[in-house]
Every structure is written in structure tokens, then in C-alpha cells.
Amino acid sequence: MMQIDSKAERVFTPLKRYAWLFVFVVAVGGLWIPKLGLFMIPLMVALMIMGFAKGKYWCGNVCPHGSFFDGILLHISRNKKIPAFLRSKILAGLLFVWFMFMLVNRLVTVFYTLGEAGFLDRLGFVFVLNYLAVTVLGTVLALGSNPRAWCTICPMGTFQLLLYRLGSWLGVNRKSDMRLAAANKEDCVSCRRCSRVCPMQLKPYPDYLENKSFDFGACIRCSTCVRHCPTGVLKLRQGKVTKGHPQPWEEEAVYSTTEEVIK
């Protein structure tokens, strides 16, 4: 069995480095100041737009919970293999349906009080409760299993994946999408380092490098595998895709975020 290294150094942009603060502002501060939950509205809009254009790029580069998992909980997690049941598409689908049902139901109840005093507090508190629930569940899974265990079934992650599939089907995210690509495959030394360090425990090697089916939908475009590739074979490439794979390698279209690592 391949040994995992989920505590491998992550790639952090300045935004991802400090985005975890938003978790405590909303999930904790919102218990006393419910209006803080209203910040979730523009955040969810941005998440949906990015999901449509770039898949789960949000999860690996912007998400406050992702920042919390990678920047804080990573260091105290048990760092175990993500349980198989958490990878179930059925479980992720059911959790998404339940989450959306509960959110919509609460929002409808609150909107019946539109125009009354305290409406904004009640509306914000709906988002605070949902965000707090995700924070608690994500923390429990991170501490007991793996830092990114929650991300495999996160309803917002599932929502992004659905939007990404729609964008791909419509052909509108061909230029905006960023995908893992390999240049000079002959330079690959088959070390499997990329598969050992992937936060989502995907397998860039050998699934992608051997032209097998690499799950781009589940990839969060975090650049961790790019950062740790000893030969620099892997890059994140932005541009058109053909039949689910990037077009032939073009050096000017390659993005490597090694220089963005913040130790």
C-alpha cells in the first residue's frame, strides 16, 4: 500500500494563508452578531462563479475552510487515509440534497418575516448556523482522519462539481479551466511523490501520466503535487481542453506556483 504524506507542505497564496480567519468571524462571531452571516451571500456567489469556470479551484486556493484545514489543522491531524465511505458519490449527493433542503427551508421561513424588525439578523443567523455546522464536522473529520476528509463530501464542493460539469457540457469553461498537465513525460522518475502528497489523495501518477482517467473534477488545483514534483514534470495549465484533456503542451500556458509557497 502506498504511504501517504498529507502533511506535505502546501502552496499558499496571501489570500489562502489568512482566509481561515473568515471561519471564526462568521461561525463564532456570528453567534453574537448574526448579521456577519450575510457575508456568506457574496462568498457563495463567488464560489458558484468560480466553480462554473474553474471547477474546484475555489477549494484549493480560496475556501476559508480549506485554509483552516491546510494552515491550522494540518499540523495536528492524525493524517490517515481518507475512509472509503467518505469518497462515496452517493453519500456526497445525499448530503448535498439534505444541506440544500435545510438551507432553503430555513430561508423560506425567514423570508416570511421580510419587512419585520430583526429580519437581517434572522437571515444572517441561517448562514451562521450552516457555516458553524460545516466547521464542526470538518474539524472532527480533520482531527480524527485527514485534514481534507470533509472536502470529499462537502456540499459546496459537490455544488461546484455540478456547475463545473455544466460549464464543461456547455463548453464555456474551456479557456478558464486549469488542469494538471505533464511536460516531457520521459523526465518522470515514477517516484509517485505527486500521489503521496495530494491533499485529496488522488493519483496524478500513474492515472494521468499514463493516459488513464485522472479525475479532474475532484482535483482542487491546489498545486501541492506541482510543488513537490522533484523533476518539475507537473504543472497547472490553463487553456482549451480536447476530449477531457489539455491540448498539446504550450510553454506559455503553463503555471507553476512553486514560488508562491509561504513557509
Instruction: Enumerate domains of the chain plus CATH numbers.
Output: 14-165 (no CATH), 174-260 (3.30.70.20)
Q: Are strands 241-242 and 178-182 parallel, antiparallel or unpaired?
A: unpaired
- List helix spans (H) across the chain: 14-18, 21-27, 40-54, 57-61, 64-71, 89-111, 119-144, 155-170, 193-197, 224-228
Cβ neighbours of 235 (radius 10 Å): 25
- Give the pLDDT score at 187: 80
- Give the pLDDT score at 214: 63
Q: How many residues does the chain have?
A: 263
CB-hemisphere CA count at 13 Å for 45?
4
Name the pTM for this structure: 0.86
- Cα–Cα distance between 51 and 12 in angstroms, integer? 19
Q: What does each C-alpha distance from 171 to 45, 117, 174, 239 come to in angstroms? A: 21, 46, 6, 12
Which contacts (CB < 8 Å, 24+ apart) does range 210-213 have?
none
CB 260 within 8 A of CB 13: yes
- Give the pLDDT score at 208: 61
- Give the pLDDT score at 250: 39
* Spatial strand order in the sheet of 178-182: 178-182, 234-238, 254-255
- Cα–Cα distance between 223 and 105 in angstroms, integer? 38
- Cα–Cα distance between 250 and 25 in angstroms, integer? 42
CB 10 within 8 A of CB 59: no
- Give the pLDDT score at 174: 83
Nearest to 123 by CA among 40, 179, 189: 40
- Give the pLDDT score at 167: 92
- Cα–Cα distance between 68 and 65 in angstroms, integer? 5
Low-confidence ranges of the chain (pLDDT < 70): 1-2, 6, 207-215, 239-263
